[in-house]
Amino acid sequence: MSYRQIFYQIVFGTQNREATIAEEHCEELYKYIWGIIKNKNCKLYRINGVEDHIHIFTDLHPSLSLSDYIKDIKVASSIWMKECGKFPAFRGWQDKYGAFTYSIREKDMIINYIRNQKQHHEHESFYDEFKRLLAEQGIQFDERYLL
Protein backbone atom coordinates (compact mmCIF):
# COMPACT_ATOMS: atom_id res chain seq x y z
CA MET A 1 0.00 0.00 0.00
CA SER A 2 1.19 3.51 -0.82
CA TYR A 3 0.79 6.38 1.58
CA ARG A 4 0.61 10.04 0.82
CA GLN A 5 -0.04 13.42 2.31
CA ILE A 6 -0.01 16.19 -0.23
CA PHE A 7 -1.95 19.24 0.95
CA TYR A 8 -2.67 22.02 -1.52
CA GLN A 9 -4.38 25.35 -1.19
CA ILE A 10 -5.69 26.06 -4.67
CA VAL A 11 -6.84 29.57 -5.54
CA PHE A 12 -8.45 30.71 -8.76
CA GLY A 13 -10.63 33.56 -9.84
CA THR A 14 -13.40 34.38 -12.22
CA GLN A 15 -12.63 35.86 -15.62
CA ASN A 16 -11.28 39.39 -15.20
CA ARG A 17 -11.82 39.00 -11.42
CA GLU A 18 -15.47 39.91 -11.96
CA ALA A 19 -17.87 39.49 -9.03
CA THR A 20 -19.98 36.73 -10.62
CA ILE A 21 -20.27 34.14 -7.84
CA ALA A 22 -23.61 34.91 -6.24
CA GLU A 23 -23.36 34.53 -2.47
CA GLU A 24 -26.83 33.00 -2.20
CA HIS A 25 -25.74 30.09 -4.42
CA CYS A 26 -22.09 29.65 -3.46
CA GLU A 27 -22.84 26.73 -1.10
CA GLU A 28 -24.35 24.81 -4.04
CA LEU A 29 -21.22 25.55 -6.07
CA TYR A 30 -18.99 24.34 -3.25
CA LYS A 31 -20.97 21.11 -2.92
CA TYR A 32 -20.70 20.55 -6.66
CA ILE A 33 -16.92 21.05 -6.54
CA TRP A 34 -16.75 18.72 -3.53
CA GLY A 35 -18.37 16.02 -5.69
CA ILE A 36 -15.74 16.53 -8.39
CA ILE A 37 -12.99 16.22 -5.79
CA LYS A 38 -14.48 13.03 -4.30
CA ASN A 39 -14.75 11.51 -7.78
CA LYS A 40 -11.01 12.11 -8.22
CA ASN A 41 -10.27 10.14 -5.00
CA CYS A 42 -9.10 13.29 -3.26
CA LYS A 43 -10.25 14.78 0.01
CA LEU A 44 -11.68 18.26 0.46
CA TYR A 45 -10.68 19.83 3.78
CA ARG A 46 -12.21 23.26 3.15
CA ILE A 47 -13.65 25.35 0.34
CA ASN A 48 -14.79 28.95 0.49
CA GLY A 49 -14.49 32.20 -1.35
CA VAL A 50 -16.10 35.44 -2.29
CA GLU A 51 -17.72 36.87 -5.42
CA ASP A 52 -14.57 36.83 -7.57
CA HIS A 53 -12.53 33.81 -6.47
CA ILE A 54 -12.43 30.61 -4.44
CA HIS A 55 -9.96 28.77 -2.23
CA ILE A 56 -9.86 24.98 -2.07
CA PHE A 57 -7.81 23.12 0.55
CA THR A 58 -7.45 19.55 -0.63
CA ASP A 59 -5.11 16.65 -0.91
CA LEU A 60 -3.93 15.30 -4.24
CA HIS A 61 -4.17 11.64 -5.16
CA PRO A 62 -0.79 10.41 -6.49
CA SER A 63 -2.36 9.20 -9.74
CA LEU A 64 -3.28 12.79 -10.68
CA SER A 65 -1.26 15.67 -11.99
CA LEU A 66 -2.00 18.97 -10.27
CA SER A 67 -2.69 20.82 -13.52
CA ASP A 68 -5.16 18.16 -14.75
CA TYR A 69 -6.87 18.09 -11.35
CA ILE A 70 -7.40 21.85 -11.35
CA LYS A 71 -8.44 21.85 -15.01
CA ASP A 72 -11.07 19.18 -14.31
CA ILE A 73 -12.46 21.16 -11.36
CA LYS A 74 -12.58 24.39 -13.35
CA VAL A 75 -14.07 22.90 -16.53
CA ALA A 76 -16.79 20.87 -14.79
CA SER A 77 -17.76 23.64 -12.37
CA SER A 78 -17.79 26.23 -15.16
CA ILE A 79 -20.15 24.13 -17.27
CA TRP A 80 -22.40 23.53 -14.25
CA MET A 81 -22.45 27.22 -13.30
CA LYS A 82 -23.43 28.25 -16.82
CA GLU A 83 -26.11 25.56 -17.17
CA CYS A 84 -27.76 25.76 -13.75
CA GLY A 85 -28.93 29.35 -14.27
CA LYS A 86 -27.96 30.54 -10.79
CA PHE A 87 -24.84 32.42 -11.91
CA PRO A 88 -26.10 34.42 -14.93
CA ALA A 89 -23.15 36.82 -15.04
CA PHE A 90 -20.49 34.07 -14.76
CA ARG A 91 -18.43 33.80 -17.96
CA GLY A 92 -15.81 31.34 -16.76
CA TRP A 93 -12.73 30.94 -14.62
CA GLN A 94 -9.42 32.60 -15.35
CA ASP A 95 -6.90 30.33 -17.05
CA LYS A 96 -4.34 30.79 -14.30
CA TYR A 97 -4.37 29.58 -10.70
CA GLY A 98 -2.26 29.45 -7.59
CA ALA A 99 -1.41 26.18 -5.85
CA PHE A 100 0.51 26.19 -2.60
CA THR A 101 1.67 23.22 -0.53
CA TYR A 102 1.38 23.00 3.23
CA SER A 103 2.46 20.64 5.98
CA ILE A 104 0.27 18.84 8.52
CA ARG A 105 1.32 21.45 11.10
CA GLU A 106 -0.26 24.19 8.97
CA LYS A 107 -3.45 22.30 8.17
CA ASP A 108 -5.72 23.86 10.83
CA MET A 109 -4.37 27.34 10.14
CA ILE A 110 -5.18 27.05 6.41
CA ILE A 111 -8.63 25.58 7.10
CA ASN A 112 -9.40 28.54 9.38
CA TYR A 113 -7.99 31.01 6.87
CA ILE A 114 -10.26 29.65 4.14
CA ARG A 115 -13.25 29.45 6.49
CA ASN A 116 -12.94 33.20 7.15
CA GLN A 117 -12.66 34.39 3.55
CA LYS A 118 -15.62 36.73 3.64
CA GLN A 119 -14.36 38.55 6.73
CA HIS A 120 -10.80 38.56 5.41
CA HIS A 121 -11.81 40.23 2.16
CA GLU A 122 -13.44 43.11 3.95
CA HIS A 123 -9.84 44.33 4.41
CA GLU A 124 -7.83 42.88 1.51
CA SER A 125 -8.56 42.57 -2.21
CA PHE A 126 -8.11 39.31 -4.09
CA TYR A 127 -5.22 40.88 -6.02
CA ASP A 128 -3.41 41.91 -2.83
CA GLU A 129 -4.15 38.56 -1.20
CA PHE A 130 -2.72 36.66 -4.15
CA LYS A 131 0.45 38.78 -4.16
CA ARG A 132 0.84 38.13 -0.43
CA LEU A 133 0.37 34.36 -0.86
CA LEU A 134 3.02 34.30 -3.58
CA ALA A 135 5.43 36.30 -1.42
CA GLU A 136 4.80 34.10 1.64
CA GLN A 137 5.64 31.03 -0.45
CA GLY A 138 8.81 32.63 -1.81
CA ILE A 139 7.49 32.64 -5.36
CA GLN A 140 8.88 35.34 -7.62
CA PHE A 141 6.29 36.93 -9.87
CA ASP A 142 5.75 39.66 -12.40
CA GLU A 143 2.69 41.73 -11.50
CA ARG A 144 1.79 42.07 -15.20
CA TYR A 145 0.88 38.38 -15.25
CA LEU A 146 -1.03 37.97 -12.00
CA LEU A 147 -4.57 36.64 -11.89
Can you give the pTM of this predicted structure? 0.92
**What percentage of residues in the chain have a pLDDT greater than 70?**
99
Question: What's the mean pLDDT in 122-130?
Answer: 90
For the chain, the structural domain boundaries read: 7-145
Exposed/middle/buried for 14, CB within 10 Å: 0-12, 13-18, 19+?
buried
Task: Give the model confidence (pLDDT) of 18-48 as tens digits.
Answer: 999 999 999 999 999 999 999 999 999 999 9
Q: Is the pLDDT of residue 147 over 60?
A: no
Q: Is the pLDDT of residue 84 over 70?
A: yes
Q: Which CATH superfamily is domain 7-145 in?
A: Transposase IS200-like (3.30.70.1290)
| Integer Cα distance of 16 and 78 in angstroms | 15
CB 56 within 8 A of CB 18: no
pLDDT higher at 10 or 140: 10
